[in-house]
Structure 1
Amino acid sequence: MIKLQLESTLDILNLNEVQEKGAGFQALTGMTGAGLPPVSVQWLEGAGDGSVYRGRRVLSRDIDLPLDVVGRDRAHLAALLSRLARVLAEPCTLALVDEDGSRWTTEVIRTGGGDVTYGQGTTGERDLQMVLTLRAADPYFTSAEASFQVIGGDTTTKSFLSSMVSLPVAASQAIGSITLENTGDAVAYPVWEIHGPGHAFQAVSPDKETLAWNGTIAAGEILTVDARTGSVVDQAGINRYADLAPAPRFWSIKPGLSTATAQLLGVTVDSKIICSWRPRKWMVI
């Protein structure tokens, strides 16, 4: 059974607390918006019959969450409502926790709901029911646990030379093969963390799309390339996007198993590439 939590930097609200402890917050049956998100479909209307599909864009997800708040007494109910208000005052995270401990999250903002009609939404002085309306700008549920692969290093991971596939290798360059397993059902976006020294980083997708960065990083420096946001920064937060090759392809990882390659020149035993990604799902039940 999936359990729900609302999380912020201030607090974590367990939305199964009434069932577990007899008081607190309880998500009720009837939540909507956790299934397939809405899409906007583009069609080309021509002179002939019908139309031609040109693509689609996944829209934001709206979630209606029925909630029961049960206090031990009126004062405790007021304290619970204050906690809820503080969490919902800013963007927060809706987390769905499965029985096996896996967590899928999406950032949400309250766009409405939370009103109460006395006599209908309340029963006595310690129980209150409401419906919260939340919007998730990112329509996917993202795994809280990242998957990763490492090429390079000299301790617990394979060295560049022992990670090679059947490709040309010289003493000052390395080309490694990375197995990508996306356990979600939507595309995931890799985050590349390149530890220097090295230069001319390149990552080639299973479909032969190439992301190339032609800059140089010294020993002890780290370059982070985020394919989802299209950002390239070093360990000091300095923008290094200008060193990308023309027309960069920030490619994504399709569901299932696939193999990509990564290359770095001018390496030593301290050089390594870490590729991480968080699987995403259309819906979690």
Structure 2
Amino acid sequence: MIDNLYTNPIVSFSRAGKTIVLGRTPSDDVVHLYGSTGLGLPPVQLAFSDRIGGDGSVFRGQRYGNREVFIPLAVWKKTKAEVTEFRRRLYHELAPHKGMVNIRIVDPGTGTSRFIEGYLKEGLEGDFGEDFRGNYQSFGLTFECPDPWWQGDLKEITLRLNPGVKPFISNTVPFFPVVLGRSAAQGTFNIEVAGDDAVYPVWEFVGEGSDPTIKAGSNQFVINTTLKAGQKIVMDMGTGMMTPDQWQNVPLTSQPFRLEPGRTTLTATMVNATVDSMIRGTYRERFLEGI
């Protein structure tokens, strides 16, 4: 039924600020066709060793390999020239030498929006056969994705050290505000990490204040330094990159840590925090499937 088309996923490609959105109805001139693949579990690689002196084998481990995502689409235009122009747009905006393409799938039925990044592998070789009819042409685009996990929208955790003032709450970005005292600023709060894999937030420590610290369970990361008003340090827990580099002020007991899916209790502290001091973390949840 035509009504069901409106509940189909919305597929789009984007890179460098340019986006191509595939339609879902017969009235659209560019349409996502049935037949997409690579939207569920990524390829599984299992390792076994033969059991010496016995039957069978010993399981050594598993990992997810590169994922291929296949997206079929069709274009209808009024003229052959318009089809040619659209095909040239695909060439330029999806060419692999320009980097990875963001493939996003929005599911109206569940409200999820997830994306994966990959290099175009095949589908735009310029072969004109049965799939080409002058003002009509269909394509089957295959992308190779080095990271097989789908990612969600950017999430933000904001701890604003603002004594005696109601914290600002954004209407567009979800976060967890906490009001702390001025001299010994400390707050404990719970967050829920969705998805199927751990996340590594990028933490931003903004002064004024000393010895900014973030804790989760037995994990702790502290920088023994003093930040001036407006001064900040950015720490990527995934890569270990710190800007500016303050690793000389990080004690050996501090290590970058991740947040597991589910509920996590965080404790953040900053000595002598002022009204403008804050600790903020951003991350993207990771999912096994796109839809």
TM-score by length of 1: 0.83
**2:222 alignment counterpart:** 212
1:126/1:239 CA distance change after superposition, 3 Å:
farther
**1:76 alignment counterpart:** 82
Counterpart residue type for residue 150 of structure 1: L
1:220/1:138 CA distance change after superposition, 3 Å:
same
Tell me, what secondary structure is at the counterpart of 2:92?
helix
* Among candidates 138, 162, 172, match of residue 153 of structure 1: 162
Please provide the CA RMSD for this pair.
2.5
- Aligned length, in residue pairs: 268
Query: In the alignment, is residue 232 of structure 1 matched against residue 239 of structure 2?
Result: no
**1:3 alignment counterpart:** 10
Identical amino acids, percent of aligned pairs: 26
Contact 1:102–1:144 under 8 Å retained in 2:
no
Counterpart residue type for residue 120 of structure 1: E
In 2: Cα distance, 1:52 partner to 1:212 partner: 41
**Deviation digits for residues 6-44 of structure 1, max 9, x if unmatched?**
011252111126x26431x32221111111112444556
Counterpart residue type for residue 252 of structure 2: P
**1:122-271 superposed matches below 5 A:** 122=132, 124-154=133-163, 155-157=165-167, 158-161=178-181, 172-206=183-217, 208-233=218-243, 238-246=244-252, 248-271=254-277
* Among candidates 34, 38, 41, match of residue 39 of structure 2: 34
1:209/1:13 CA distance change after superposition, 3 Å:
same
1:270/1:11 CA distance change after superposition, 3 Å:
closer
1:45 Cα deviation after fit: 6.0
**1:96 alignment counterpart:** 105
Query: In the alignment, is residue 118 of structure 1 matched against residue 124 of structure 2?
Result: no
In 2: Cα distance, 1:256 partner to 1:126 partner: 51
Tell me, what secondary structure is at the counterpart of 1:22?
coil
* Among candidates 259, 262, 281, match of residue 287 of structure 2: 281
Contact 1:37–1:60 under 8 Å retained in 2:
yes
1:54/1:222 CA distance change after superposition, 3 Å:
farther
Tell me, what secondary structure is at the counterpart of 2:83?
helix
Counterpart residue type for residue 191 of structure 1: V
**Deviation digits for residues 32-67 of structure 1, max 9, x if unmatched?**
111111244455666464555454333322112222
Structure 2 residues without counterparts, runs of 5 or longer = 1-7, 168-177
Contact 1:64–1:134 under 8 Å retained in 2:
yes
Contact 1:180–1:253 under 8 Å retained in 2:
no
Contact 2:114–2:153 under 8 Å retained in 1:
yes
Tell me, what secondary structure is at the counterpart of 1:251?
coil
Counterpart residue type for residue 206 of structure 2: H
Structure 1 residues without counterparts, runs of 5 or longer = 162-170
1:105/1:73 CA distance change after superposition, 3 Å:
same
Query: In the alignment, is residue 14 of structure 1 matched against residue 21 of structure 2?
Result: yes
In 1: Cα distance, 2:253 partner to 2:75 partner: 52
In 2: Cα distance, 1:76 partner to 1:59 partner: 39
The worse-fitting range, judged by mean Cα deviation, of 71-80 and 273-282 is: 273-282
Counterpart residue type for residue 150 of structure 2: F
Contact 1:231–1:241 under 8 Å retained in 2:
no
In 2: Cα distance, 1:201 partner to 1:121 partner: 60
1:69 Cα deviation after fit: 2.3
1:215/1:96 CA distance change after superposition, 3 Å:
same
